[in-house]
Each structure stands twice: as structure tokens, then as C-alpha cells.
Amino acid sequence: MADSTKAGLKKPAFTKVDQLRPGTSGHNVNVKIVSTKMVLQKGRADGPQARQLRISECIVGDETGVIVFTARNDQGTLLQSINHLKNKTFI
């Protein structure tokens, strides 16, 4: 059973930053995180589910260019923690 599902998968195709165009989606890119900054945090504490919306702007890039990536909720938290670990020095 696992062999039949593996046969249907294909390797992801990665794109460089200079090939990205506005309004497109579904791209796989390998980028380095330059910086992250939370720009919006709002939510409702009342109600059955305490939902919060967090928007972060992340500057990421590769050897061909730099872009601003808008991350939502846990994406931004994950990128901020990766950026923190990258900048931390261990003695």
C-alpha cells in the first residue's frame, strides 16, 4: 500500500526569488530569514473560542533577491523562533 502512494508523489520544484510574480501562489522556495516583525495582533477573548489573528512581515531572500513574506498566526511564530535561534550565539 505504501509503495503505491509513494509512486504518485513527485519531487517538489523549487523557485528562485527573482522568478516570483505578484498574485501567484503555491511556490516552493529555499530562502534565508533576514528579519521578522509582528505588525498586527488582534482577537476576541470573549466567545466560545478565543481566536487571535497575528500577522507578521518577514524579510526573506536568496542569492537572486529579497521579498517581504506575510506570515499568518503560527507561521510567523515559527519564523520568529527560527530567526532567534539563528542569531543566538552559543558559548
Question: pLDDT, tens digit, for every residue of 14-51?
Answer: 999 999 999 988 888 888 888 888 888 887 666 556 67
Cβ-contact 68, 58 below 8 angstroms: yes
Query: Rounded to two decimals, what is the model's pTM?
Result: 0.68
pLDDT of residue 10: 86
**H/E stretch holding 2:** helix 2-8
Residue bearing cell 513527485? 10
Q: Is the pLDDT score of 2 beyond 70?
A: no
pLDDT of residue 45: 62
pLDDT of residue 87: 57
Section 57-73 average pLDDT: 91
Name every residue whose Cβ is closer than 8 Å to that of residue 23 and which is 6 or more positions away in sequence.
none
C-alpha distances (whole Å) from 55 to each of 24, 30, 75, 77 are 19, 21, 9, 10
